[in-house]
Amino acid sequence: GLHTAMDARPLSSSSAAASTGIWAEGLLRNKVAIVTGGGAGIGLACVKALAQAGATVVAVDIDEQACRAVEAWNSDLAVSVMTGDVRSRAQIQDIVKHTVERHGALDIMVANAGIVRTADFLDMSDKDFDDVLDINLKGVFITCQEAARQMVKQKEQTPGRGGSIITMSSVNAVLAIPTAAGYNAAKGGVSSLTRCMALGLAPHGIRVNAIGPGSIQTQVLQSVVTDEAARHRMLSRTPLGRIGDPEEIGQIAVFLASPAASYITGQTIYADGGRLALNYTCE
Ligand code: NAD
């Protein structure tokens, strides 16, 4: 595995990742993955990157139209789609069961589904706060717990079989958006939950890590960065001087899922164009 990773093409330093994928083909051969929120944005990029690295991928999304977009992504790779809501334990159980029946195992879970609700702190409603926590935090708990139960079960049958769980945190696990209290609380929770799960599952050889994206070009970003001034502010606080591409997150999911990351667990890997490093500048 490690050998394959070292054969991978190097990351282009000038621009966004190439759509063909950075990691060697076949790095995730024989692996089976589920990606929640896999119908759009970062989740869809994870679906494509994992499939391009050789995994069989089941994309899960609550949005029918997003599901159809995955189906329309015409490729000969092993990608299928299921509608599902990460808030429903019964639905996630069904999806895991179906995946294992159809593909034999579950090796990789990417708990990516998430939403944003914004309001000034004094005006934020219980509903907005609860909706964000239900999907972005409780949904991650349900999704990862169901995946872990399957992984532990299959490892008892096939010792040596690995498991990698990846959650989608954010730079906002540590950087406060004044108008997104629920979102910030949920993302801090995701990084913390990720460490708990890493410790709880280490005895089973299952690794759990979070990805912490900065500003990535998706629908969610468009809903938060609404005008030119906000866009300028965001870029002025991004040392690399550009918004990230969803593919650049997909490549991290491939790395974390692969044997190249075999000693990494409990981490949040930030991909933020240098944003967090700015917190340490003395200028
Ligand atoms: P997106 O809106 O483009 O995609 C999210 C997908 O999740 C959508 O297809 C949506 O239908 C699906 N979804 C929503 N609720 C769901 C539910 N209950 N069950 C199943 N699927 C559901 O958003 P994105 O920007 O790709 O965000 C993906 C993740 O990355 C989120 O967790 C988000 O918080 C995180 N993130 C995004 C950014 C960014 O800049 N875009 C930065 C940091 C973190």
Torsion of CA 163, 168, 174, 178, to 10 degrees: -160
Question: At residue 11, what are phi and psi to the nearest 5 degrees?
Answer: -70, 130
C-alpha 88/C-alpha 94 separation (Å) is: 10
pLDDT of 61 higher than 70: yes
Tell me, in angstroms, the distance from the centre of ligand 1 to residue 135's CA: 10
pTM over 0.80: yes
Residue 279 has pLDDT above 60, yes or no: yes
> Residue 40 CA: which ligand 1 atom is closest?
9
Residues catalogued as catalytic: 183
Q: In what order do the strands lie in the sheet with 108-111?
A: 79-83, 56-61, 32-36, 108-111, 163-168, 206-213, 268-271
pLDDT digits (tens, 9 = 90+) for 242-269: 999 999 999 999 999 999 999 999 999 9
CA nearest 18: which of 27, 26, 28, 8? Answer: 8
Q: Secondary structure of 182-198 in the HEC alphabet?
A: HHHHHHHHHHHHHHHHH
Best residue among 81, 168, 237 to mutate for probing ligand 1's pocket (most ligand atoms within 8 Å of CB) is: 168
Tens digit of each residue's pLDDT (9 = 90 or more) over 84-107: 999 999 999 999 999 999 999 999
